[in-house]
Structure 1
Amino acid sequence: MTEPFVVVGGDAAGMSAASKAKRDDPDLEVVVFEKGEWVSYGACGLPYYVKGEIQSLEALVSVTPEEFREERGINLRTGHEVVAIDPDGQTVTAEPLDGGEPIVQSYDHLLLATGAEAVVPSIDGTDREGVYTLGSMSDGKELREYVARARTRKSFQQPDRGPACRYLEDCVGPVAVVGGGYVGLEMAEALAANGFEVNVFQRGDRLLNGFSEATSEAVADHLREEDVLVHLGTDVLELTGDDAVEAVVTDEGRIDVEMVLLGTGVRPRTALAEAAGIDLGETGAIATDAYCETNVPDVYAAGDCAEAAHTVTGDPVYVPLALTANRHGRAVGQTVAGTPTEGGSVAGTAAIKVFDVEAARTGILDHEEATAAGFDPVTKTIDANSRAGYYPEGGTVTVTLTADRQTGRVLGGSLVSEYGEGAVHRSHAIVGALEEEATVFDLEDYDLAYAPPFNTTWDPVLVAAKVLSGTLR
């Protein structure tokens, strides 16, 4: 009799792997250890829960623990923290958080899906009351409760205190968001929509570093239109106050706040793997091969704790996004059930909504990164109508496209438009070009859909491809 397939971590990668393995081999015993009480939840929805667009945390759960146990036949053990792995003996040791006796569980195959944790920057005062991160369901619950308390309390009842006070009869109070990435900007919207005067602090000279400069500028301009105070090129030096945070001190001065949200990125949880002798890659995440297997036989890693191969360069990258986790977890499940399956490469494709603007990016846009990978990058940015000019709606889509000068190969793209005008969905054509190693000359001949309510005859992606191909010719 074979030993179980054991999974450490009960979110996207872990539960995708467990479910797929059990579906493909119903006789396989599958055991999942999860430290928390929540499994298979959509962490990407947490800013919208804090904002109030999503009314309950339970709405973010795809499959409940009971459904995994009763309907899918998975031995899911929530409230259990795996504290050690013995690769030689092929066992893991898990400790119940309720104080029970440790469990030593044997395995034939093991998946590490330990995820990532929010980065807390090295500045004084991050341990003060009123300083939050957003990396878990419990974080989301705490932030939602804070917003509710603040709106009830209305501690700053001064309608003229700041521009964001237009959202409510009384301004709730000034707050800070440290970091201009996905979580930071989504939370800036969530807080502003609840009446807070929001300050966004970004150390670099632009927001959304992985996007094009044109996209970053468009998003920053729109934030300012929505009365969010954007502080670019600003170093946060300290969070001051007594027990609770009272101000953000930067290299440009002091700004009073009553709450701080740290949105400075995530790092992979790798301590368990390192202690077991499992190699990390150059990105700091767990190194894996094409099948998501580590250097230790029969031990796999997937999701936000693991590296993946980049679609354009083939080099290891760390891209902690939901689709990657689900896709690679599913591949591991198929592999351990008897059908070896590669996880597939990642292009770093991502999207974000900020108030009434949507943006997307994929591939390589940074010229230094492209040059280091052996390319000679050329970039063009165009503006084009989102719909036929005579159609009584529509807006502008800004497309930035990068290709290799010598071969014409498409390397990456970034798009931004008003919300609903298609920047995100149009990015999928560029993703397809990256996957097929298409040239910009190929891309300009893509047969993309057209009808006046949806598009112009020449889609903005085709316009960008034509302009860039003309430069290369």
Structure 2
Amino acid sequence: MADPFVIVGGDAAGLSAASKFKREAPDREVVVLERGRWVSYAHCGMPYYVKGEVESLSDLLSLSPAEIVERGIDLRRGHEVTGVDPDAKTVRVRTDSERYDQAYGDLLVATGARAVDGPIDGADLEGAFTMHDMDAAAAVRAFLTPPAEIDPDAVDGEYVDRDRVETYATREPPEAVAVVGGGYVGVEMVEAFEAYDLDVHLLQRPDRLLPPFGETASERVIETLRERGVRVRLGTAVDEIVGDGRAEAVVAGDERIPVDLALIGIGIRPNTGPIEDAGVELGDSGAIAVDDYGRTNREHVYAAGDCAEMCHAVTGEPEWVPLGLTANRAGRAIGATVAGDPTPVGEIAGTAAVKAFETECARTGIVDRDRAREAGFDPVSETITASSRSGYYPGAAETAVTLVADRETERLLGGAIVGTDRAAIRIDTIATALEAGMTVADVERLDLAYAPPFSPVWDPVLVAAKVLNGSLDAP
């Protein structure tokens, strides 16, 4: 069949697009080109697999390759796209045994992002990892498990890099671990490592953890980690990982910290390599620039997921916020559009959640006041602490809520929440308010549910809105 819908990348955005397209246009061909072996897996679940809360690697698969093929999708694993020619409407494909050009009628670039390990020297040593693929997760869990206790069923699936896993499965488990970077992955992996009773060091270059979540969340998470025995070092830049073939220590300035395993979680970058010479425009973030329907500046070429920007709900400007729902939603919309039903990819607010043991954090919109000023707002913020349930009901815990608003318009700009009792899920109220363009007074008047087991009469979000509204009214 001529001119199929070709998708580069077989994970969240790519397979959401392929599945939606095939449902809407069952008679048209869709080809998914994936350079690796793993497809349709949950990146966010890997720390919990390492910890052991997720029993087997295959539990992280949303769809198996066989299930994808059953949907009528031509899935080609081990097929790397090395370039795109929008004029000829072809992509250049490389496999272990051949090179060929694949024609397309419409093209979706869903190449995701890649983990950053530079400028840290020694990131290629054995025992140094980034947590950005399933093989890394399998290898780390094998390394953490005593050889006599390795469960083959936990490292299941025909796609696992068996040689890599077996290399670490034969070693004695590490005793000391360094986690470099205090973002989502760093905090989640600290929790995973602590479960193995290791000596855990967390080294963070900035002066707070989880910077997008605000100061209060950072302080609460640091307190939680230190109570668990984690050695948290802020304002500490790791220069290199050293060792004779294997990681033996991390070096930060004049300090050398002996470790057996180093986990680098200092960020990701959009993977735009395949379109470098295709004349596809990139945004200021370095991710692919798209319009409201995921279209790039080249005709019939779309982009979605961690390689593409999207419009921010608060600023109205393009932003790069790589998150799972963002990728799935945009891919699904593009699949519908290519099938003949034009569907906007929607806006984003950067809504996210993370936990450090019992401490839950969540954020949405603009939390940082300096960033709000850069976006043209006059920010006013308040942070309150309120009970998660009626004070007399068992399980009630302190919940801190930060809200940020624009003084002139009184529009809500963002918020963050931290607590131990169902704190993170409350961020959805704030995210919905942002999408609706509500003012702080609008939020204060929301009719949220009340019953002692679930919330006090004044939910913590309502308390925060009430206090912030008072600040906006003050001269």
Q: In 1, distance between residues paired with 2:343 and 2:261?
A: 46
Shift of 1:2: 5.4
Residue 383 of structure 1: SS of its match in structure 2? Answer: strand
Q: Which residue of 1 aligns with 2:78?
A: 79
Q: Conserved in 2, the CA contact under 8 Å of 1:286 and 1:306? A: yes
Report the number of matched residues: 452
Shift of 1:128: 1.6
Shift of 1:103: 2.9
Q: Percent identity?
A: 56
Structure 2 residues not aligned, in runs of 5+: 151-171
Q: Which residue of 1 aligns with 2:233?
A: 231
Q: Conserved in 2, the CA contact under 8 Å of 1:273 and 1:286? A: no
Q: Which residue of 2 aligns with 1:49?
A: 49
Shift of 1:123: 2.3
Q: Conserved in 2, the CA contact under 8 Å of 1:210 and 1:361? A: yes
Shifted more, 116-125 versus 282-291: the winner is: 116-125
Is 1:308 matched with 2:315?
no
Q: In 1, distance between residues paired with 2:457 and 2:345?
A: 37
CA separation of 1:461/1:76 partners in 2, compared to 1, >3 Å: closer, same or farther? same
Counterpart AA for 1:195: D
Coordinate RMSD, CA, aligned: 1.5
Q: Which residue of 1 aligns with 2:466?
A: 466
Q: Which residue of 1 aligns with 2:87?
A: 88
Shift of 1:394: 1.4
Q: In 1, distance between residues paired with 2:65 and 2:23?
A: 17
Match of 1:216 among 205, 215, 218: 218
Q: Which residue of 1 aligns with 2:262?
A: 260
Residue 334 of structure 1: SS of its match in structure 2? Answer: helix
Q: Which residue of 2 aligns with 1:365?
A: 367
Q: In 1, distance between residues paired with 2:53 and 2:429?
A: 30
Matches for 1:189-204 after TM superposition, within 5 Å: 189-204=191-206
Give CA-to-partner distance per residue, 1:248-298, whole Å, 9 cap, x none.
Answer: 111251211111000001001011111212111100001111111111011
Q: Which residue of 1 aligns with 2:136?
A: 139
Matches for 1:391-402 after TM superposition, within 5 Å: 391-402=393-404
TM-score, normalised relative to structure 2: 0.93
Shift of 1:95: 1.7
Q: Which residue of 1 aligns with 2:160?
A: none
Residue 348 of structure 1: SS of its match in structure 2? Answer: coil
Matches for 1:87-166 after TM superposition, within 5 Å: 87-97=86-96, 99=97, 101-149=98-146
Counterpart AA for 1:373: A
Residue 145 of structure 2: SS of its match in structure 1? Answer: helix
Residue 425 of structure 1: SS of its match in structure 2? Answer: helix
CA separation of 1:336/1:277 partners in 2, compared to 1, >3 Å: closer, same or farther? same
Give CA-to-partner distance per residue, 1:395-426, whole Å, 9 cap, x none.
Answer: 111001100111110000000011xx122111
Is 1:7 matched with 2:11?
no
Matches for 1:266-345 after TM superposition, within 5 Å: 266-345=268-347
Q: Conserved in 2, the CA contact under 8 Å of 1:291 and 1:342? A: yes
CA separation of 1:199/1:289 partners in 2, compared to 1, >3 Å: closer, same or farther? same
Shift of 1:301: 0.4
Matches for 1:162-181 after TM superposition, within 5 Å: 173-181=175-183
Residue 22 of structure 1: SS of its match in structure 2? Answer: helix
Q: In 1, distance between residues paired with 2:174 and 2:114?
A: 29
Q: In 2, distance between residues paired with 1:262 and 1:237?
A: 12
Q: Conserved in 1, the CA contact under 8 Å of 2:144 and 2:173? A: no
Counterpart AA for 2:463: V
Q: In 1, distance between residues paired with 2:28 and 2:400?
A: 50
Structure 1 residues not aligned, in runs of 5+: 154-169
Shifted more, 375-384 versus 268-277: the winner is: 268-277
Shift of 1:151: 9.1
Give CA-to-partner distance per residue, 1:157-187, whole Å, 9 cap, x none.
Answer: xxxxxxxxxxxxx995111000000000100
Q: In 2, distance between residues paired with 1:466 and 1:383?
A: 13
Shifted more, 101-110 versus 42-51: the winner is: 101-110
Q: Conserved in 2, the CA contact under 8 Å of 1:8 and 1:34? A: yes
TM-score, normalised relative to structure 1: 0.93
Q: In 1, distance between residues paired with 2:144 and 2:66?
A: 31
Matches for 1:382-397 after TM superposition, within 5 Å: 382-397=384-399
Counterpart AA for 2:64: T
Shift of 1:150: 7.7
Give CA-to-partner distance per residue, 1:289-343, whole Å, 9 cap, x none.
Answer: 1111111011000000001111100111111100000000001000000011110
Q: In 2, distance between residues paired with 1:151 and 1:189?
A: 24
Q: In 1, distance between residues paired with 2:372 and 2:25?
A: 43
Q: In 2, distance between residues paired with 1:52 and 1:422?
A: 22
Counterpart AA for 2:79: H
Q: Conserved in 2, the CA contact under 8 Å of 1:171 and 1:197? A: no
Q: Conserved in 2, the CA contact under 8 Å of 1:171 and 1:195? A: no
**Any runs of at least 4 consecutive aligned residues in structure 1 with deviations exceeding 6 A, and if so which?**
150-153
Shift of 1:366: 1.1
Shift of 1:138: 1.1
Q: Which residue of 1 aligns with 2:37?
A: 37
Q: In 1, distance between residues paired with 2:41 and 2:124?
A: 27
Q: In 1, distance between residues paired with 2:268 and 2:174?
A: 29
